[in-house]
């Protein structure tokens, strides 16, 4: 991984320079915002000339690159990231720094040492830039037969006013833990399903969690049958590699609150007998992104030493077709005793999640989050960069919104519309696993709600859009697994631990 260090304003040695730009006095122009970096006035003047020649405007999200020589500097390349008209130490500025660092570091592949000299004047800015740089630099090269010529930039030097400032150092440490765990989730998501069967996913996560001192329990297919986990068993019974339920518990001393995290871990989703068309099946190795997110979150929470009890459940199965697979119209009995008619075998996520949600109630958590690449309908509604969420409590929704904004992950609250609930009625069982086509992400959420005990605060995070990026890279997200929701959940846990 790319390592990040804090350096003094005078330590500017490196092969690539990243600077910040803001809109200039002339419309459509940009000027260099040198921050605290000791860049000689003559060089500042030359950089501004190079910016003018490049047509930079300084708007947020902009990346303009030119040769160091063009500005009379020793760097091979200078990347200028737009900070827009944002003020120092505002949420908008942190977002611009984080996403700009992501874009600049992706463009810096192959570099030895990137000097990041966009203005950083607070611990929060250190966190934003460092997380952005590490996530932007991330590459998944496990299946390349030789190391790519332009691997992730080796090191980043973040120019700060005082590298010894304790708050900045603490922020740097946090950023390393956060980025490391998001990349752990990305690695899991990017691994092909042939190399990440249900037991592989459970064991890989268990190994990491155990190393951190967390309690791990994995139920195998026999224990799942015995325990009455009809949803997980029913979805996994068509695959050669049987399903698992992993439970991970983090119990720090002095913690008062308890949050349960339930993750959808479909290691591959063919759709089952209601098979997906070829176009939709390709990305389905990423259908375990929810499980990867909750695993990464609980591991990071432990590494960060957050004072809050967390229990994570990874509901893991492979949704395949075979002589033993669940058929359309089969009836499953879920962990809480409710019966479900499987009217669409591709609506399998809610079946495994229902068991995990019902089981988590036995831990008596104060708050339950579930994270799932649940519905294509959510991608239709919000596009591929934003997650939709549902909550049965307004205070929880407000806290989640705050956490998402701090983390810089786009979430949008969706309504639990009661008039769609009858679409889940079944003539033969307590529930059908699929509602109507219209409002499909809402009926999916209403289905999950059936497995939340009364009085428990709950939010359902449908991350089907942003979990795995098949389009052009943006911000801190490259191609492939995004590790989405980890940073938001960590912010939420941090806030809940302190309140």
The closest of 415, 398, 437, 426 to 342, measured between CA atoms, is 426
The answer to whether residue 274 forms part of the interface with Zn ion (CB under 5 A) is: no
Task: Kindly give, in sequence order, each residue whose CB lies less than 8 Å from that of residue 139, ignoring residues fewer than 6 positions away.
Answer: 109, 148, 151, 152, 478
Q: Which of 285, 350, 457, 491 is catalytic?
A: 350
**In the range 18-37, which residues lie near Zn ion by CB under 5 A?**
none
Q: How far is the CB of 414 from Zn ion (least distance, A)?
A: 19
Within 13 Å of residue 30, how many CA atoms lie on the same side as its CB? 28
Q: How far is the CB of 274 from Zn ion (least distance, A)?
A: 8
The answer to whether residue 269 forms part of the interface with Zn ion (CB under 5 A) is: yes
The closest of 96, 119, 147 to 19, measured between CA atoms, is 119
Q: How far is the CB of 319 from Zn ion (least distance, A)?
A: 6
Q: How far is the CB of 348 from Zn ion (least distance, A)?
A: 5
Stretch that binds Zn ion, among 101-109, 266-274, 404-412, 421-429 (CB under 5 A): 266-274
Stretch that binds Zn ion, among 51-59, 65-73, 138-146, 342-350 (CB under 5 A): 342-350
Stretch that binds Zn ion, among 81-89, 164-172, 340-348, 470-478 (CB under 5 A): 340-348
Stretch that binds Zn ion, among 207-215, 263-271, 369-377, 461-469 (CB under 5 A): 263-271
Q: Are 231 and 351 in contact (CB under 8 A)?
A: yes
> End-to-end CA distance of the chain, in Å?
34
Q: CA 465, CA 1: separation in Å to the nearest integer?
A: 26
Q: CA 463, CA 485: separation in Å to the nearest integer?
A: 8
Give me the 140-159 binding string for Zn ion, x by CB under 5 A, dash otherwise.
Answer: --------------------
* Helix, strand or coil, per DSSP, at residue 79: strand
* Helix, strand or coil, per DSSP, at residue 63: strand
238-254 per-residue burial string, b: 16 or more CB within 10 A, e: under 16: bbebbbbbbbbbbeeee
Q: Are 250 and 297 in contact (CB under 8 A)?
A: no
**In the range 345-364, which residues lie near Zn ion by CB under 5 A?**
346, 348
Cβ distance to Zn ion smaller for residue 199 or 346 = 346
Stretch that binds Zn ion, among 21-29, 150-158, 267-275, 293-301 (CB under 5 A): 267-275
Q: Which of 59, 276, 338, 405 is catalytic?
A: 276
Which tokens belong to 63?
């990346």
Q: Report the residue closest to Zn ion, judged by CB.
A: 346
Q: How far is the CB of 441 from Zn ion (least distance, A)?
A: 13
Q: CA 394, CA 431: separation in Å to the nearest integer?
A: 27
Distances in Å between the alpha carbon of 248 and those of 50, 251, 263, 291?
Answer: 53, 10, 12, 11
Cβ distance to Zn ion smaller for residue 129 or 266 = 266
Q: Are 369 and 488 in contact (CB under 8 A)?
A: no
Stretch that binds Zn ion, among 142-150, 200-208, 268-276, 437-445 (CB under 5 A): 268-276
Number of chain positions touching Zn ion (CB under 5 A): 3
* Helix, strand or coil, per DSSP, at residue 255: coil
Q: CA 76, CA 491: separation in Å to the nearest integer?
A: 37
Residue 26 appears among annotated catalytic residues: no
Helix (H) or strand (E) holding 492: helix 486-498
Give me the 296-335 binding string for Zn ion, x by CB under 5 A, dash otherwise.
Answer: ----------------------------------------
Residue 350 appears among annotated catalytic residues: yes
Q: How far is the CB of 384 from Zn ion (least distance, A)?
A: 17
Q: Are 351 and 326 in contact (CB under 8 A)?
A: no
Cβ distance to Zn ion smaller for residue 434 or 482 = 434
Cβ distance to Zn ion smaller for residue 29 or 344 = 344
The answer to whether residue 370 forms part of the interface with Zn ion (CB under 5 A) is: no
Q: How far is the CB of 285 from Zn ion (least distance, A)?
A: 13
Q: How far is the CB of 399 from Zn ion (least distance, A)?
A: 30
The residues carrying an active-site annotation are 276, 350
Residue ranges binding Zn ion (CB under 5 A): 269, 346, 348
């Amino acid at each position: 991984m790319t390592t990040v260090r804090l350096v003094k304003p005078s330590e500017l040695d490196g092969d690539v320079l990243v600077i910040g730009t803001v809109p200039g006095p002339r419309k459509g122009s940009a000027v260099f915002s040198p921050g605290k970096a000791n860049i000689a006035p003559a060089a500042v003047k030359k950089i501004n000339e190079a910016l003018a020649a490049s047509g930079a405007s300084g708007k947020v999200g902009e990346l303009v690159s030119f040769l160091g020589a063009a500005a009379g500097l020793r760097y091979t390349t200078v990347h200028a990231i737009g900070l827009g008209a944002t003020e120092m130490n505002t949420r908008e500025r942190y977002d611009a720094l984080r996403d700009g660092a992501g874009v600049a570091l992706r463009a810096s592949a192959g570099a030895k040492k990137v000097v990041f000299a966009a203005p950083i004047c607070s611990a929060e800015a250190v966190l934003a830039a460092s997380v952005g740089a590490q996530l932007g630099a991330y590459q998944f090269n496990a299946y390349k037969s030789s190391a790519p010529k332009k691997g992730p930039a080796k090191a980043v030097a973040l120019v700060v006013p005082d590298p010894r400032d304790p708050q900045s150092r603490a922020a740097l440490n946090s950023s390393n833990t956060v980025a490391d765990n998001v990349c752990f989730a990305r690695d899991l998501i990017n691994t092909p399903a042939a190399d990440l069967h249900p037991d592989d996913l459970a064991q890989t996560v268990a190994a990491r969690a155990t190393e951190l001192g967390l309690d791990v329990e994995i139920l195998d297919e026999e224990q799942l049958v015995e325990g009455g986990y009809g949803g997980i068993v029913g979805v996994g019974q068509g695959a050669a590699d049987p399903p698992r339920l992993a439970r991970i518990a983090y119990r720090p001393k002095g913690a008062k609150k308890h949050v349960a995290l339930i993750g959808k871990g479909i290691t591959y989703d063919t759709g089952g007998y209601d098979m997906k068309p070829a176009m939709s099946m390709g990305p389905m190795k990423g259908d375990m992104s929810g499980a990867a997110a909750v695993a990464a979150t609980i591991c990071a929470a432990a590494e960060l030493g957050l004072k809050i009890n967390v229990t994570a459940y990874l509901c893991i199965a492979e949704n395949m077709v075979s002589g033993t697979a669940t058929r359309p119209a089969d009836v499953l009995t879920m962990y809480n005793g409710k019966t479900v008619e499987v009217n669409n075998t591709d609506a399998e996520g809610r079946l495994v999640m229902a068991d995990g949600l019902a089981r988590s109630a036995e831990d008596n958590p104060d708050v339950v989050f579930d994270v799932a690449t649940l519905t294509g309908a959510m991608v239709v509604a919000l596009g591929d960069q934003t997650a939709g969420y549902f909550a049965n409590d307004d205070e929880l929704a407000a806290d989640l919104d705050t956490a998402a904004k701090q983390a810089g992950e786009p979430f949008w609250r969706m309504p639990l519309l009661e008039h769609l609930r009858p679409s889940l009625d079944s003539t033969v069982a307590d529930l059908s696993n699929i509602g109507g086509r219209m409002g499909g992400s809402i009926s999916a959420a209403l289905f999950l709600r059936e497995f939340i005990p009364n009085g428990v605060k709950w939010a359902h995070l449908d991350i089907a859009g942003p979990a795995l990026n098949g389009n052009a890279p943006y911000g801190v997200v490259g191609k492939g697994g995004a590790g989405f929701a980890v940073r938001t959940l960590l912010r939420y846990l941090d806030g809940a631990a302190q309140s």
